[in-house]
Structure 1
Amino acid sequence: MKSTQSGKKLAKKMIIALICGLVAGLGCILLRENLLASGQESLWNTINNVLFQDITAEGANNAIGIFYIVGQLFVNALQLIIIPMVFVSIILAICVITDTKKLGRISSKTIGTFLITTVCALIWAGIIGSIVYKLGAFNAVHADNLVIQEGTVGSNPLNIIVSVIPNNLINAFTNNGNVLAVVFLAVAIGLAMNQLKDKTKTLKKLLIECSDIISVCLSFVITKCAPYAIFCLLTRTFAIYGIDYLLPALAYVLTVIFALIVYLFIAYPIYLMVMGKMNPKPFMRKIPKVALFGFSTSSSAATLPINKETTVNELGVSEEIASFVLPLGMTVNMDGTAIMQVIAAIFIAASSGYDVTITSMAVIAFLALIASVGTPAAPGAGAVILFTILTGMGYTNDGALLAYSLILAINRPIEMLVTSLNVVGDSATSVIVGKKENMLDEDIYHS
């Protein structure tokens, strides 16, 4: 109940910040146009230097840039959490997998199902995102004064494979663009901890405590700081570049919502029929309360108790299966997150001046696959991990940052729907694995 109320409270704050930011931004647009039209350009330049100017830009030595500083501090705080969040989450997820025959078999089927559903989600998101991109809905921003930086999409995509194994342990943790190397190290350490078993009890306890600390920090940044930072970022966005960002943002929201809803109501019933040989109707009838709880809390972790209760008591899955699949799915199974990240990355690339090609979309999908695996079950984590994809693709100009600020502001309802998709996917995978292992009570399932 407390998580639900907290989630609703944060959603209200984000909506208020969004509305206030839009109103203040539009007011700044009108003020700028009136001042420029009346020949008071120097007055507007003074206002811009005090409130909105990028203080790192050339010639901005005397600028104050209050809104820029507040927004940048928030962005830096999010970036600071990325590497430890991915590293700790993946190690703990791998630690769940044991090397006994039975659980080894269950784990392979579980991870295999997660992989299939996530790849299908990425393909679906790529198709929808490319269609909307080709229609030009993401290309409404015209910011000729932006300096487009070269990304990694022009190089051989196979370079990503080379970067998976780092040649320097310290460097792997000092650059947010090295997320693949961090993932490799996390998997390797997780597997080694499984091999050593009880000898790593202390380390595992330490990692759990680190995960708790990261969750608290992330919760503080998102809950306490996000509304104010979003207001500053949005106001600055519209004050500098105008209303042109609103149209592609609206297209982004509608595109993601459509992709998520279609996947939720069509893909999972198909998975149950094809992979589980089960009638999906009982599942779709019993799972809505889990989806609604996930929607209201925007946290897979907060939804775990009710998801486990529903999966075991109402869907007939063995508690042994559910106790393994559902906690692992909180980190590994992120279908909704993957869909959101792919479409968001395409939107940011298109709206900030980068070309989106088949190659770049393939690389985005690959990075989204890896990044979604390392997304913790905490509110706002999906949007934070999106930074990893943007950095890996080289989408780092000012336009990309501003587009990302819009996504942060309007993404709360989307992430609520993303969480619903993720928790439903965890339960569906439990049913599929339970059926394959003959650990599903079909009488309870069909009741």
Structure 2
Amino acid sequence: MKKTEKKGNHLAVKMAIAMVLGLICGLAMLMLRENLLTSGQTQTWAAINNLLFQDITAEAGKNAIGLFYIVGQLFVNALQVIIVPMIFCSIALAICQITDTRKLGRISSKTLGAFLLTTAVALVIAGAVGLTVYATGAFNAVEVNGLNVSTGSSGSNPLSILLSIVPNNMTSAFSTNGQVLAVVFLAVATGLGINALGSKVTVLKKLLQEISDIITVCLSYVINKFGPLAIFVLLTRTFAIYGIDHLKPALAYVVTTVLLLLAFLIVGYAVFVAVLGRINPIPFVKKIAKVAVFGFSTSSSAATLPLNRKTVTEELGVSDEIASFTLPLGMTVNMDGTAIMQVIAAIFVAASSGYSVTVSSIAIIAILALIASIGTPAAPGAGAVILFTILTGMGYTNDAALLAYSLILAINRPIEMLVTSLNVVGDAATSVIVARSEKMLDEKQYNAEQN
């Protein structure tokens, strides 16, 4: 156990250092960019950008090198490539290993109940804060003139997400990371089937376990060896390509959302662990910090899942039986940060485009955000795209609303980085709470100090 604690602490220190260095270098690059552009040296910045930061898959990046983009994307791809098999194997194994159907029902109901409770609290707080800021008139002063309209995606009925739970083609569900809910359904069905057949099914169960073991080994190597470097690269590039001119028009939205997300991240989950789990939240806050940093850097719940599972089981003392079920499920249905961002963003769009905002309209926005956030792809940029569904459902579709939505698409990357931190920490908090209630939490390991 001590060896595991030292490894976890060593990795956390390296990630923290990488985050600080990434923020410093990113802000330095941001200031360099602004100075070069304002002084007319656009070609100099273009050369730096093409060498280090340019997306080489974009139209403008045909002749670019994009070193930071390549390194960061390779790391994220290495993590995302195993998301589907990891979710399928972990959930199927977790269910088939719980032979007591009543116990499985309890764990499922407690997990979903905790997810629903945290998201409901997040939505209520976001609605209250959003209405307060709206009443001050801060959102009304936002200037969105001059932006190009960008619809992002077509709006749809939020209830259509229910149809994606049961796939009509098994192979299509496994062919993309965008159908995680379908993979969860198939994993649950497979696990229940193995459970029902008992000793008749041994080869498949062993195969799932061996695939899971291989994934664990590979991911541990990737995260431990390349995680800190990836954090530095991803953070530096994010701030380097981020223009100050995009931030100024929507400062009220950015400040409101960031402060609310930080408050919920730092205080909210500690309170949930203390109240619902009836356990000291300080060890949880200390040990989960590196998961929050990793989620912030990658802006992907899927990419953070391996480290989250490793931290929850090896450092927080949660039984793998619980973590294997709650964390993959949380990655697909528990989106506290996404829900908060979408509520504030919808109020911002409504206020800045001439629509009235009332308590009833905020309640409808919250309900739509709850439904739309379930099944949101665990990948960068997904939350802002899903936001268009909410805006369409509320009827916020005039030209000013589309312009405000375009502004959100332009500035939302740093916010979504913080949103991901909330999502993954919320999954971990639920795992601890459920494990504690089922007496499947090693409290000695949970409270152990990291040397």
Normalising by structure 2, what TM-score? 0.67
| Equivalent residue number for residue 195 of structure 1 | 196
1:421 aligns with one of 414, 417, 429: 429
**Are 1:123 and 2:120 counterparts?**
yes
Matching residue within 228, 234, 239 for 1:229: 234
Matches of 1:258 and 1:430, distance apart in 2: 29
Kept in 1, the 8 Å contact 2:23–2:235? The answer is yes
How far 1:123 moved relative to its partner? 0.8
2:210 to 198, 206, 211: 206
Q: Is the CA contact 1:290–1:307 (under 8 Å) kept in the aligned structure 2? A: yes
Within a 5 Å distance, the mapping from 1:353-364 to structure 2 comes to: 361-364=366-369
Structure 1 position 338, deviation (Å): 3.4
Q: What is the CA distance between 1:227 and its match in structure 2?
A: 1.4
Which residue does the alignment assign to 1:162? 163
Aligned to 1:155, the other structure's residue is in SS state: coil
How has the CA–CA distance of structure 1 residues 6 and 268 changed in structure 2, closer, same or farther, with 3 Å as cutoff? closer
1:131-146 alignment, distance < 5 Å: 131-134=128-131, 135=133, 144-145=146-147
CA distance in 1, matches of 2:194, 2:227: 32
Provide the C-alpha distance between the structure 2 equivalents of 1:163 and 1:428, rounded to a whole number of angstroms: 32
Aligned to 2:412, which of 367, 385, 403? Answer: 403
Is the aligned partner of 1:22 residue 2:23? no
Matched, 1:105 2:102: yes
Cα displacement (A) at 1:119: 0.6
Residue deviations 1:182-241 (CA, integer Å, cap 9, x gap): 222222222222223342332232332244156337626643323112211220113774
Partner residue, 2:313: 304
**Partners of 1:254 and 1:264 in 2: how far apart?**
15
Question: Match of 2:302?
Answer: none
- Out of 17, 29, 39, the position equivalent to 1:34 is 39
* Cα distance in 1 for residues equivalent to 2:185 and 2:42: 53
For the structure 1 residues 144 and 168, does the alpha-carbon distance in structure 2 shift closer, same or farther, using more than 3 Å as the test? farther
Consecutive unaligned residues of structure 2, counting only runs of 5 or more, are: 1-5, 293-307, 354-360, 390-404, 442-451
Deviation at 1:122, TM superposition (A): 0.8
Q: CA deviation at 1:257?
A: 3.0
Q: Deviations over 1:218-272 (max 9, x none)?
A: 6266433231122112201137746668875554342123224554465556547
- 1:338 and 2:332 correspond: no
Counterpart CA distance in 1 for 2:107 and 2:191 is 17
Match of 1:12 among 17, 25, 36: 17
Shift of residue 50, structure 1, vs aligned partner: 6.0
TM-score by length of 1: 0.67
CA distance in 1, matches of 2:242, 2:90: 33
Q: Judge conservation of contact 2:334–2:374 (CA < 8 Å) in 1.
A: no
Give SS of 2:207's match. Answer: helix
User: What secondary structure does 1:130 align onto?
Assistant: helix
* 1:37-436 superposed matches below 5 A: 79-98=80-99, 103-134=100-131, 135=133, 144-145=146-147, 147-151=149-153, 154-198=155-199, 199=201, 200-213=204-217, 215-216=219-220, 219=223, 222-238=227-243, 241=246, 248-264=253-269, 266-267=271-272, 271=276, 283-284=278-279, 286=280, 288-295=282-289, 299=308, 301-304=310-313, 307-308=316-317, 325=322, 328-332=325-329, 338-344=335-341, 361-366=366-371, 368-369=373-374, 400=409, 403-404=412-413, 407-408=416-417, 418=426, 421-422=429-430, 424-430=432-438
Q: Which runs of 5+ in 1 are unaligned?
A: 273-282, 310-321, 373-383, 435-447
Counterparts in 2 of 1:231 and 1:287: CA distance versus 1, 3 Å: closer
**CA 1:22–1:96 in 2, change beyond 3 Å: closer, same or farther?**
farther
Cα 1:399–1:250, aligned 2, differ >3 Å: closer, same or farther? closer
SS of the aligned residue for 2:313 comes to helix
Hey, what's the Cα distance between the residues in 2 that align with 1:31 and 1:270?
52
Given that 1:90 and 1:183 are in contact with CA atoms closer than 8 Å, whether structure 2 keeps it comes out as yes
Contact 1:110 1:429 (C-alpha < 8 Å) held by counterparts:
no
Deviations, residues 317-359 of structure 1 (Å, cap 9, x unaligned): xxxxx78556654555689963234335556788999999766
Alignment deviations for residues 136-171 of structure 1 (CA, whole Å, 9 cap, x no partner) = 68997959545523435x322222222222222222
Q: Do the aligned partners of residues 325 and 259 (structure 1) sit closer, same or farther apart at CA in structure 2, a change above 3 Å counting?
A: same
Residues 231/324 of structure 1: CA separation in 2 closer, same or farther (3 Å cut):
closer
1:300–1:419 contact (8 Å) kept in structure 2: no
What letter corresponds to residue 124 of structure 1 in structure 2? Answer: V
Query: 1:82-136 CA distances to partner (integer Å, 9 max, x unpaired)?
Result: 43443333323323322xxxx3222222222222221111111122233444526
Q: Which amino acid counterpart does residue 293 of structure 1 have in structure 2?
A: K
Between the aligned partners of 1:223 and 1:352, the Cα distance in structure 2 is: 37
The root-mean-square deviation of aligned C-alpha atoms, in Å, is 4.7
Give the whole-Å Cα distance in 1 for the aligned partners of 2:7 and 2:62: 47
Find the aligned partners of 2:342 and 2:52 in 1 and give their Cα distance: 28
**Distance in structure 2 (CA, Å) of the matches to 1:364 and 1:161:** 14
Q: State whether residues 52 and 65 of structure 1, in contact with CA within 8 Å, keep that contact through their aligned partners in structure 2.
A: yes
